[in-house]
Amino acid sequence: MGEIEPNVRKADQLLEGAERILSRQPESGYQLDDSSVWFIAGRTVDICIFYTFDDNHVYFLSAKIFSPPEL
């Protein structure tokens, strides 16, 4: 199994940034269909973070490598 992000510093920055944003505005991600699972994609690393939230907490569920779409 390959590493999600070989640069630990970048991965830490992504998680810290996601935590900062989602703790204030969890709706800033994208909801998966009609489920309670949302995701946010990294801008500088190809990682997608899946999470869910309620009125008091944001729960990180997983992180996965993704390939951005070609524009």
What is the distance between the terminal CA atoms of the chain, rounded to a whole angstrom?
29
Q: How far apart are CA 38 and CA 28, in angstroms?
A: 9
Q: Give the pLDDT of residue 4.
A: 54
Compute the average pLDDT of residues 5-12.
Answer: 70
Domain limits, the chain: 8-65
Q: Residue 21: which of 36, 42, 37, 6 has the closest Cα? A: 42
pLDDT tens column, 38-59: 998 877 677 889 999 999 999 9
Q: Give the pLDDT of residue 1.
A: 44
Q: Give the pLDDT of residue 50.
A: 93
pLDDT tens column, 9-47: 777 787 888 889 999 999 999 999 989 999 988 776 778
Give strand pairing partners of 30: 39
Q: Give the containing element (helix H, strand E) for 9.
A: helix 8-24
